[in-house]
Structure 1
Amino acid sequence: MSRRIALSFFLLFLVFSLILSILFYTLNRRSMLQVYEDQLLTHAISIADAIDGLTISGDALSGMGGQVPGQGQSQGGPGRGMHMGPRSAYLDLINEIAMSDIWIVDESARSVTVGMSRRPINYTELNPLAQALLEDVFAGKALTSRAFSEQLDRASLSAGAPVYDQDGQVIAAVLLHDSYSDLNQSLNEILGIFGMSLLIALLVALVLTTLLSRRISRPVAQMEETATRLTSGDYDARSGISQSDEIGALARNMDKLAEHLAEAKRDREQQEEAKRAFLASVSHELRTPVAVMRSSLEALRDGIVTEPERRQEYYDDLLVESRHLERQINDLLELSRLDSAEFKFEKSEVNVPDVLADAVRGKRRQAEQLGLSLTYLDDVMQYAYMGDYHRLYQLFGIFVDNAFRYADAGTKVSICSQLTETGQLEILVHNFGAVIPPEALPRIFERFYRIDEEDSFGSGLGLAIAAALADRHDIEIAVESSDRAGTSFRLLFSAPLSDH
C-alpha cells in the first residue's frame, strides 16, 4: 500500500512537472521574444535617428567617392544594388556598435546598402513580405518581421525604422537584423537549468512521497487491523494512533466507536443475563401459585378433603392464589409494555399537585382499613408538567402502597410536596416500619427483588414498574432508610413547562 501511494504521488508530481515545464518554456520563450523584438526595434529607431539626410543623399554620396568599384548598375535601374564605400564604412561602424546586421534602403533609389562585408542585395531579390515591410517603413511605421530569413540564410528577426530628412520626409529605411541563435541559446541554457532543478525536485519529491506514503499507510494499516478485530468481535481493540491530523481524528473516532461497541456488548450481555434471571424469576413466581392451586385441586378431586369446612378453606386458598397469579401476570404485561419503545404515553400538560392529591385521596380508605394515618402536605399548588395523568397517578399509587405495606401498624405515612432551590418539584413519601438495609438500596427497583425472600405479598414488580414510569417522565428517584428516620422515597421532577 505504501508503494502504491508513493507511486501515485510521484506520478502526479511528474505530470505536474511536465505541464509546468511546457508552460514555462512557452511563456518564457514568448516573453523573451517580445523583449528581444522590443530591444531590436528600439535599436533600429535609435540608429535611424542617428543617421541624417546627408548620409543618405545622392549628392553627398557622389562627393564621397561615388560607386564602389565593381558594383555598377543592376537590373533594377540606375543606382540599385550599389554598395557605396563611405556609406558601407559607416554601416560597418554601426554594425560593430549594435552587434547586429544593418541595412539601409534608399526610398528614392530603392537601393539596398548592407554592412558587415556582406554581398550587396538587389531590391528585386527581396521576397514580397520583405518588400511589404519596407513599404510600411517608408510609410513612417517602425515594426518587426521575420521576412528576411530567406535573404540572410538563417532564422532571424528584423526591425525596420524610417529615416527622416530635415523636412520630416522619409528618405530611407534602416533594417536591423539579428539571428535567433542567441535567443535560442539563452532559452536552452535556461531550460537546462530548469530541467536540472526539476530533476533534483523530482528526486526530492520521490523521497518525500515515500516518507509521506509511509506516514499515511502505517496508521491506515493499523486502523485496518483494528477494524478487522472489531468485525471479529474483539471490541477491546484500539488503534493506538495519536496523530493530530485528519488520520488521527479518524483513528480517535474509530477508538470511540470501539468503546461504544464494547459498552453495547456489555449492555447486551447484562440484558441477556437480566433476561435469563427474569425468566427464571417469572418461572419461580408463577410456579408457586400454580403448584398450590394444583395440589388443592388434586386434593379436592381425589376426595382427600371431605369435611365442608376444610373444603371451604381449600376453595379460599384457590381464590387467593388465583388472584395473586392474576396480579403477577398483569404486572408482567404492564412492565413488558413499559419496556417497549413503541408503547406511547398520552402526554399532555398536567398540574402535578392535582394528580398527587387525587392519588392520595384514593388511598385514604385503604389507610383506614390498615390502621394507618395518612397525611398530605400540599405546599405546592401549581406545577405545570408534560406527562400522562393516568401513569403519574399509577406512579404515586405504587409508592403509597409500598409505604403502607412496610409501615408499622398504627404509624403515620406522610406525603408532602415542595420546591427545591432550583425551582424543581420534590415529592416525599415517608413511613416508619421495616428498614431497608444499605446493601439492598441499589437493588430494590430490580424485578422480583424482595428484601425478605419469605415475603410473598405482592408480585415483586411494583417498584420496577414505578422506576420505568419515572424514567419515561424524566423523574429522578432517591431512597433513604434508617431506624431512626424511617424510610423516604424522594421523587424529583425536571423543570416545569414555564421554564422551557
Structure 2
Amino acid sequence: MFRLILDWFGVNKSIFRKLLLSYMVTVLLGLGALGLSMSVLAKNYIYDGTKEELLRKAKKVNLAIQTSQANPWNEDQTQSILAFLDQTFDTRIWVFDQSGHIIATSTRDEVFIGKSVAPQIVEQVMHGQNVVQNLAFAGLTKPMVSVVVPWGQKDKIFGGIVLHAPVEGIEETVGNMRVMILWATLLGILLSTAMVSYLSWTISRPLKRMDMVALEIEKGNYEQRIEVTSEDEIGDLARSMNRMAATLAHVEAERDELDKVRQDFIANVSHELRTPLTTMQGFLEALQDGLVQDGASRHKYYDVMYKETLHMSRLVDDLLELVRLTKHEFNLVKQPVNMEALLNRLAFTFTAEAEKRGLALRLALDLPLPAVLGDAGRIEQIFVNLLGNALKFTEHGYIELAAREEKGGVEVTVTDTGIGIAEADLAHVWDRFFKVDRVRSRSETGTGLGLAIVQELVGLHEGVITVQSKLGEGTVFTVWLPGNEEQT
C-alpha cells in the first residue's frame, strides 16, 4: 500500500520528490515529537512548580498555627488564621487530627468538617512525611491539586494540613503554553519545509544535470561536461563523470584514428598487392595467348614475374614482422652488444655493394664505444635497413656510418648524399607504406614498411631515432641506444 501511494505521487520517479518526502517526514516526526515532549514537560513543570509552592505555603500555615496557639487547640483562633491565609494564598486549607478527621477549614461553610482523610495519607503524615502526589478527596466538585504536610513539630505531630489549589488556572496556563508550542512547531515546519525544499533542489539539480549529460554521452556526445559547484560527494561524482567523458572522448578519437589507420592500411596493402598481381596477370595472359614467341622475350617475362613474386613475398614478410613487433609477440634476447665489432662487420658487408654503385662507404668510429644492452640480431637489422635505404636512394657521392659515445649510450648516424626527403614528407617517413618519390630515385622498389619496423625495434630497445634531410642534398638518420648498465 505504501509503495502504491509513492507511485501515485510519482515519488519513485523523481529524486527531488523522494528527498523532499523523506526530509519532510523526518522533520514532521521530529518537530511533532519535540512539540509533544515540550508540551508534556511544560505541563509537568507547571504542576511540579505548583506543588512546590503549595508545600512552601503549607509549611507557613503550620508555622502560623503553632505560633498563634497558646494551647494545643483553639478552634476559633485557628479558623480565623486559616481564613486569613486562604485570602492571602488564594488556597483552600484543611486541618485534620491524628485520626484523620478534618477539624478545621479555611471557609466557615465548609462541609468537610468531620469527614476523614484517607488512612494511608494519615499514616505518612504521622511519620513526618509530606504527601505531594496527585490526591483525590471525595466531595470536591472541582479538580484540585493537593499537598499534605504534618501539623506540629518533629517530636510532636498533632495531625496534618491539606492545601488545595484549583486546577483551572494551571490548565489554562498549560493550554496557553501548548498553543505557543503549537504555533512555534507550525512555524518550524514552514521554515523547515522551505529549507528542505531548497536542500532537496540543490541535491537533485546536479544529479538531474548528470542524468542529462549521461544521456548525451550515451548518444555519443562526449563533449558534454557537468558544472562542478561543490566539494562534497556530489562534486566528486561530477568530476568523475567529467573525467569519464574526457576519457571516452579520447578513446573515441583513438578508435576513429585506428579505424582510419586500419582503412589506410588495408588500402595500401591492397594497392601494393594489386600492382604486382596485375603485372603478373598481364604477362601470364600474354604467354597463355601465345603473344610471346621467342625464348629471350619469354625469359624476360618470367624474370619480371619472378621479381614481382619476390616483392610480394617481402611485403608479406615485412607485414608479419611489423605485426609481431607492434603486438610484442616476441621477446628480445638482450645481452651486451659490442657495437664496434657490429658496425665494422656492417661496413665490410655493404662496401662491395656501394662500390658496385659507384659510391664510397665511410666508417667513422669514435673509439672506444660502450657496449649496448640489446638483441644483437635486431640491432643489426636496424642498421641493415638504414644502410639499404641509403644505397637505394643515393646515386652519387658517399654514405657514412659513424658512431660515438653519447649520454651513457651509443649514438650511430647513417648519412648519405642521396635524393633527400621533402620537408613536408619528413613527418611521414615512419608511416607504414610511405615511399619517397620514385621518379627521383633509381628503379629500386620497396615495401614501404622498413622504417616503420626500424622505429618499432628502436623503441623496444628504449632508444631514440630521428631523421634530418634536405631535398637534393641527402639524409641523416640518428639512432641512440642505451648502454649496458652493468658495464657502466
Q: Same fold (TM over 0.5)?
A: yes
Give the conservation status (yes or no) of the 8 Å contact 2:86–2:106.
yes
Note if 1:269 corresponds to 2:256.
Answer: yes
Give the stretch that moved more between structures: 451-460 or 274-283.
451-460
1:44 equivalent in structure 2: 55
**SS of 1:60's equivalent?**
coil
Note if 1:433 corresponds to 2:417.
Answer: yes
Shift of 1:431: 0.9
Distance 2:363 2:109 in 1: 134
1:366 equivalent in structure 2: 349
Shift of 1:450: 0.9
**SS of 2:71's equivalent?**
helix
1:243 equivalent in structure 2: 229
Note if 1:288 corresponds to 2:279.
Answer: no
Whichever residue aligns with residue 430 of structure 1, its letter is V
Shift of 1:52: 4.4
Distance 2:379 2:141 in 1: 109
Whichever residue aligns with residue 192 of structure 1, its letter is V
Distance 1:477 1:10 in 2: 67
2:357 equivalent in structure 1: none
* Superposed CA offset, 1:335-362 (max 9, x none): 233444xx444368x45x6275676466
* Superposed CA offset, 1:394-451 (max 9, x none): 55654454455445654312234411xxx7x563433122322221111111110112
2:370 equivalent in structure 1: 381
* Superposed CA offset, 1:127-146 (max 9, x none): 5xxx3233223222334211
Give the stretch that moved more between structures: 369-378 or 321-330.
369-378
**Structure 1 residues 96 and 16: CA distance shift in structure 2, 3 A:** farther
Note if 1:103 corresponds to 2:94.
Answer: yes
Give the conservation status (yes or no) of the 8 Å contact 2:372–2:484.
yes
Distance 2:87 2:480 in 1: 107
* Superposed CA offset, 1:102-157 (max 9, x none): 33333367545433567253686545xxx323322322233421132655444444
Give the stretch that moved more between structures: 140-149 or 294-303.
294-303
2:3 equivalent in structure 1: none
Among all aligned residue pairs of Structure 1 and Structure 2, give the percentage whose two residues are the same amino acid: 23
Give the conservation status (yes or no) of the 8 Å contact 2:101–2:116.
no
Shift of 1:194: 2.6
**Structure 1 residues 310 and 252: CA distance shift in structure 2, 3 A:** same
1:22-33 equivalence runs, <5 A: 22-30=33-41, 32-33=43-44
**SS of 1:51's equivalent?**
helix
Distance 2:378 2:152 in 1: 113
**Structure 1 residues 277 and 34: CA distance shift in structure 2, 3 A:** same
Distance 2:372 2:43 in 1: 87
**Structure 1 residues 214 and 25: CA distance shift in structure 2, 3 A:** closer
Whichever residue aligns with residue 243 of structure 1, its letter is T
Shift of 1:329: 0.4
Q: Which of 187, 210, 233 is matched with 2:220 structurally?
A: 233
Shift of 1:325: 1.2
Give the conservation status (yes or no) of the 8 Å contact 1:356–1:393.
no
**SS of 2:436's equivalent?**
coil
Distance 1:380 1:180 in 2: 113
**Structure 1 residues 277 and 44: CA distance shift in structure 2, 3 A:** same
Give the conservation status (yes or no) of the 8 Å contact 1:37–1:144.
no
**Structure 1 residues 20 and 221: CA distance shift in structure 2, 3 A:** closer
Name the TM-score, length of structure 2 as normaliser: 0.76
Q: Which of 265, 284, 293 is matched with 1:278 structurally?
A: 265
Note if 1:119 corresponds to 2:105.
Answer: no
Give the stretch that moved more between structures: 325-334 or 301-310.
301-310
Give the conservation status (yes or no) of the 8 Å contact 1:105–1:174.
yes
Distance 2:250 2:473 in 1: 39
Distance 1:258 1:485 in 2: 49
Distance 1:477 1:9 in 2: 64
Shift of 1:274: 2.3
Distance 2:435 2:290 in 1: 37
2:304 equivalent in structure 1: 317
Whichever residue aligns with residue 317 of structure 1, its letter is V
Give the conservation status (yes or no) of the 8 Å contact 2:464–2:481.
yes
* Superposed CA offset, 1:257-293 (max 9, x none): 4444444433333332222222121111112222333
Give the conservation status (yes or no) of the 8 Å contact 1:41–1:142.
no
Give the conservation status (yes or no) of the 8 Å contact 1:475–1:494.
yes
Give the conservation status (yes or no) of the 8 Å contact 2:142–2:166.
yes
**Structure 1 residues 103 and 299: CA distance shift in structure 2, 3 A:** same
**Structure 1 residues 436 and 92: CA distance shift in structure 2, 3 A:** farther
Give the conservation status (yes or no) of the 8 Å contact 2:31–2:188.
no
Give the stretch that moved more between structures: 225-234 or 4-13.
4-13
Shift of 1:461: 0.7
Name the TM-score, length of structure 1 as normaliser: 0.74
Distance 2:454 2:78 in 1: 123
1:69 equivalent in structure 2: none
Q: Which of 424, 436, 440 is matched with 1:451 structurally?
A: 436
**Structure 1 residues 282 and 411: CA distance shift in structure 2, 3 A:** same
Q: Which of 188, 191, 202 is matched with 2:175 structurally?
A: 188
